[in-house]
Structure 1
Amino acid sequence: MSEQRQVITNRVAFLETKIPSYAAVLGIACLLVLWEIVCRMEIVPPLFLPAPTAILTAAWDMIASGELYKDLVASLYRIGVGYAIGAALGVLAGLILGFSRWTDAIMTPIVYSIYPIPKIALLPLIILWMGIGEMPKVAIIALGVFFPVVINTFSGVKNVDPMLIKAAVTFGSNHLNVIRKVILPGSLPMIFAGLKLSAGTSLLLLVSAEMVAAQEGIGAMVLHYGNLMITTKLMVGVLILSLLGLTFNRVLQWLERKLIPWK
């Protein structure tokens, strides 16, 4: 028994071991060094895989010329507005669907029937409705963000302990207070899961929309330099998208720690 307890204790200690904060940076640094070595040894032709140093040089040139700033601002505006609108509407709709049985019965089948449709396929129709400009690109991002958020919020509301809701009603809470003090806090973990999932979706839709119907933006820049086969500048756009995805994830994790300290 003592040996078995020791084994269990060792396993628990291993699971609870704190990972150093620099582990992620170390992993990325090792990847970049390996990438640079592969390119320096010309294992892969520079046209197909430029070295990180060459990409950084190209990025500096694009920053100095102002080209990168213009494209980055355009993309950040589209994804910021689209994500905010889609997330806000998704959380609101998910709370309503989860709290109201009538709304659940009527609207949930509609949500689940529209969700599998590739949102970028709707871009030509949205352009027809809204015209050429920023609104179609913002709308397609908002649409792509809306569905993962509403589905996760709906699931979070359904997983709230019904005894907590009954207790709140018993003590005289109205519907608004039940949603604000019981349902919303209880469903926050699932809401943040939907927000994280939709962050990646928003980047995919941003790039797709800018490649199809934009003159400025990171997606348009990647397509332009891809057509010209200038892979160093193409990779600048790819790395910026990667950094945006990482930044969104870190910001959402920080908000999750602040809003859900018990998790």
Structure 2
Amino acid sequence: MKAAAEREPRFPAWLGSPRMIAACSVVVGIGLWQLGYEALARTRYFKAYAIHHFLSSPLQVVQAFGELYRSGELLRHSYFSFLEFAYGFLLAIAVGIPVGLLMATVKKINYYLDPWVSCLYATPLVALAPVIIVWFGLGILPNSLVVFLGAVFPILLNTYTGIKSVKQNLIEVVRAFGGSRLQLFFKVMIPDATPAIITGIRLAVGRAVISVVVAELFGAEAGLGFMVYFYSQRFLPGPVFVGIVVLVVFGIVSFLALEKVQGWLSPWYAHQLRRAAHGMEVEQP
């Protein structure tokens, strides 16, 4: 009776994992895309309105990927976009974290910089990109500056918020035991704010990828954004989708890598998230 009551699950547990569900969702979406394209291709409107100049199937995208890869064009464009992303993103980290720390700990610096940060953060990047390109010309440098402006503010603001959100009881304990300001800063504030800082860096990844495309649309001689614009002007959707897919995959891989870094730098925070998620699952009827 006890064995009958404790029935074995019909499917392995790994099939119900969040990552497997997400992967299945992507596969189903690609399958529906292919089926929709094949159904549309059988209609008389497809040839009448030349829809193949505006839409590609997943198989055609894979074929275009192979052609661009064999010709070396995809690697060349990816190389330039990666350089622009790396330079701008690393500069954003090098500037955003120290400035956020200073604004959170020194009131006068916060008073001086807060208006400028608010103004620049509220300014659309699309409006700033042409100005930067006019000032610095074409090339990796101006595009990297556009990426920097797109990525620095999430890092800066999350660093500021993380330092300001440090638990007051931890600060009081360190002060009660005679801890110095440096000990308070490096042993309490920085570790407690690390999850917020890493979250800001993860948010900045998406903005940096968008900034790469924006910069290359306004002025570039190579890059994935340039490739998307170039082939869209020639009504070749296959290479356009290839550029989009490469940018999306790069953003997802970077985001997941930073998630691993966050778990390594602040394991207690990852443990809290797992406990919270488990508690939500238990509470569900």
Is TM more than 0.5 here? yes
CA deviation digits over 1:159-180, x for unaligned, max 9? 1012322332443433333222
Q: 2:226 aligns with which of 220, 236, 242?
A: 220
When structure 1 is superposed on structure 2, of 73-82 and 171-180 the one drifting more is 171-180
Q: Which runs of 5+ in 2 are unaligned?
A: 1-15, 270-285
Q: 1:246 aligns with which of 246, 249, 252?
A: 252
| Alignment map for 1:1-80 (pairs within 5 Å) | 19-42=17-40, 45-80=51-86
User: Separation in 2 of the partners of 1:171 and 1:119?
Assistant: 48
The alpha-carbon distance between structure 1 residues 131 and 46, as it changes in their structure 2 partners (threshold 3 A), is: closer
2:235 matches 1:237: no
- How much has 1:240 moved relative to structure 2? 0.9
- How much has 1:20 moved relative to structure 2? 4.7
Q: Which runs of 5+ in 1 are unaligned?
A: 1-17
Residue identity in the other structure for 2:189: I
User: Separation in 2 of the partners of 1:80 and 1:155?
Assistant: 25
Contact 1:120 1:140 in 2 (8 A): no
Misfit runs of 4+, over 4 Å: none
Quote the residue 1:110 is aligned against.
Answer: 116
Contact 2:216 2:225 in 1 (8 A): yes
When structure 1 is superposed on structure 2, of 169-178 and 55-64 the one drifting more is 169-178
The alpha-carbon distance between structure 1 residues 128 and 169, as it changes in their structure 2 partners (threshold 3 A), is: farther
User: Separation in 2 of the partners of 1:84 and 1:115?
Assistant: 18
CA deviation digits over 1:189-236, x for unaligned, max 9? 221221122111111110010111101000000000000000111111
User: Separation in 2 of the partners of 1:130 and 1:170?
Assistant: 53
Contact 2:129 2:214 in 1 (8 A): no
The alpha-carbon distance between structure 1 residues 217 and 198, as it changes in their structure 2 partners (threshold 3 A), is: same
Quote the residue 2:277 is aligned against.
Answer: none
- How much has 1:109 moved relative to structure 2? 2.8
When structure 1 is superposed on structure 2, of 49-58 and 103-112 the one drifting more is 103-112
User: Separation in 2 of the partners of 1:46 and 1:150?
Assistant: 45
- How much has 1:121 moved relative to structure 2? 1.7
**Counterpart of 2:166 in 1: which secondary structure?**
coil
The alpha-carbon distance between structure 1 residues 106 and 20, as it changes in their structure 2 partners (threshold 3 A), is: closer
User: Separation in 2 of the partners of 1:130 and 1:175?
Assistant: 42
Quote the residue 2:266 is aligned against.
Answer: 260
Contact 2:61 2:241 in 1 (8 A): yes
Quote the residue 2:93 is aligned against.
Answer: 87
Contact 2:130 2:218 in 1 (8 A): no
When normalised by structure 2's length, the TM-score is: 0.81
User: Separation in 2 of the partners of 1:141 and 1:35?
Assistant: 32
Contact 1:39 1:46 in 2 (8 A): no
When structure 1 is superposed on structure 2, of 29-38 and 100-109 the one drifting more is 100-109
Contact 1:70 1:217 in 2 (8 A): yes
Residue identity in the other structure for 1:250: L
**Counterpart of 1:74 in 2: which secondary structure?**
helix
When normalised by structure 1's length, the TM-score is: 0.87
When structure 1 is superposed on structure 2, of 166-175 and 75-84 the one drifting more is 166-175
CA deviation digits over 1:123-170, x for unaligned, max 9? 233234434321111111111111111111111111101232233244
2:216 matches 1:210: yes
User: Separation in 2 of the partners of 1:106 and 1:247?
Assistant: 37
CA RMSD of aligned residues (A): 1.8
Residue identity in the other structure for 2:92: G
| Alignment map for 1:170-181 (pairs within 5 Å) | 170-181=176-187
When structure 1 is superposed on structure 2, of 181-190 and 212-221 the one drifting more is 181-190
When structure 1 is superposed on structure 2, of 226-235 and 107-116 the one drifting more is 107-116
Aligned residues: 246
**Counterpart of 2:118 in 1: which secondary structure?**
helix
**Counterpart of 2:222 in 1: which secondary structure?**
coil
User: Separation in 2 of the partners of 1:212 and 1:90?
Assistant: 25
